[in-house]
Structure 1
Amino acid sequence: MTREQLALRLKNACREVIAAEEELTEIDSRFGDADHGLTMTKIAHAIEGAVDGADGTLQELLDDAAMAVMSLNGGSAVPLWNTWLDGMQEGAPEAEETDIAGIQAIFAQALEEINDMSGAKVGDKTMMDALIPASEAIAAYDGASEDELFEAAAAAAAQGAENSKNFVSKFGRAKSYGTRTIGTPDAGAMSMACFFRGLARK
């Protein structure tokens, strides 16, 4: 995967998130602050702007994206996404392209970084319900196709977001609603699934 190819996938991911703003806001309005759609749109625009026309190495590209998100004001999603992207750049090579193993290293390091910060697991009804399965799908992929790798990740993220409907919220404002949150997917998991769906486009 070249720098240009990664940049295109990231831009496609951002466009998926931006297109879902209204849906994300509606979901978040049920038990949250109704600001997740707006916050994620800000994050997506920041990432898109950072990678659009970027040059340098894969690491520099991802570092630019992380720095762009870090500068935003917003809800809890901002530091989480900054941490995840920063983990990506830590795992990325100082080169303009990488192979499947390199992609896996990028997402493995990113998951490690956000795990340290978040503390949330699958079943806690957070963005991690989509991110952890997607990251595990990337780690488990044993083929040679970038397309297949990202398609597997997107499918896992989508299923994880769907599964979040079955859980009780354990973090954030939604936690106070207890079992009433069952039946509604987590907005953070949904936005992460959107992002991975876009990553699967090229």
Structure 2
Amino acid sequence: MSGASVTTEDLVAWIHAFRDAVQQHKDELTRLDSEIGDADHGSNMARGLEAVVAKLDPAPSSPTDLFKTVGMTLVSTVGGASGPLYGTLFLRMGPALADADPVDAAALGVALRAGVEGVIARGKAEVGDKTMIDALSPALEAWDSAAEGGATPADAARAAAEAAARGRDATEPLVARKGRASYLGERSAGHLDPGAASATLLLEALRDALAADA
């Protein structure tokens, strides 16, 4: 990364960092999911991301190719709702970049918006439903605000990661309205949403990958 732009190599580093973060927090994600879900979010995500990383050698030649590979692999290897949702996120990001390489903060923000809108369309969730959208939506708003103010991609990623963490934490008192957790009704309150937790790891991994190369 040259400060103002992000290369394919930087984005590959992001995916590796996400894999590492999920592996590190796998048990925590599974614990969160055991409280309001199927108790498999951590193991499913870890398995899927190991499969993703295995597909990245040799590395894809462009961000579009990278995100297509990541998305298709997640759809095919991650069980439950997480595979289709995370897969959709990356599959929508790729075309939004229109083969640009490297990309600036604004372009990467456009790709992130396309990805998040894809997740919203697929999962039919909105902020307040106690899902990954509670982390992704504020992260996207923070990214756009930073990019519009002239922030570097690293600075935009830092702002997005902070917003995602706040969104994740805000899911604790919520009553789930989507997914398996919604079956619990009022009993789903008092627990962090595991999808919001893993989505925060995604943004924190981007922050770390771009900071390391800034």
Q: TM-score, normalised by structure 2?
A: 0.89
Q: Distance in 2 between matches of 1:163 and 1:52?
A: 38
Native 8 Å contact 1:154 1:193 kept in 2:
yes
Q: Distance in 2 between matches of 1:2 and 1:147?
A: 12
Q: Distance in 2 between matches of 1:96 and 1:55?
A: 12
User: Match for 1:166 among 170, 173, 193?
Assistant: 173
Give the match for residue 31 of structure 1.
Answer: 36
Matched, 1:199 2:206: yes
Deviation for aligned residue 1:42: 1.9
User: Match for 2:104 among 99, 108, 118?
Assistant: 99
Q: CA RMSD in A?
A: 1.4
Give the match for residue 186 of structure 1.
Answer: 193
Secondary structure of 2:126's aligned partner: coil
Matched, 1:129 2:129: no
Secondary structure of 2:117's aligned partner: helix
Deviation for aligned residue 1:66: 1.1
Give the match for residue 175 of structure 1.
Answer: 182
Secondary structure of 1:33's aligned partner: coil
Give the match for residue 86 of structure 2.
Answer: 81
Q: Distance in 2 between matches of 1:153 and 1:9?
A: 14
Q: Distance in 2 between matches of 1:98 and 1:73?
A: 28
Residues 151 and 57 of structure 1, relative CA distance in 2, 3 Å threshold: same
Native 8 Å contact 2:22 2:46 kept in 1:
yes
Identity %: 33
Alignment of 1:14-93 (within 5 A): 14-93=19-98
User: Match for 2:154 among 147, 150, 168?
Assistant: 147
Deviations along 1:64-122, one digit per CA (max 9) or x if unpaired, are 11121122151110111111111111212313311112111111111221221111111
Q: Distance in 1 between matches of 2:36 and 2:118?
A: 27
Give ranges in structure 2 of 5+ residues lacking alignment.
Answer: 1-5, 210-214
Deviation for aligned residue 1:190: 0.5
Residues 139 and 55 of structure 1, relative CA distance in 2, 3 Å threshold: same
Give ranges in structure 1 of 5+ residues lacking alignment.
Answer: none
Native 8 Å contact 1:58 1:93 kept in 2:
no
Native 8 Å contact 1:11 1:51 kept in 2:
no
Native 8 Å contact 1:137 1:152 kept in 2:
yes
Q: Distance in 1 between matches of 2:78 and 2:110?
A: 29
Moved over 2 A (4+): 46-53
Native 8 Å contact 1:18 1:41 kept in 2:
yes
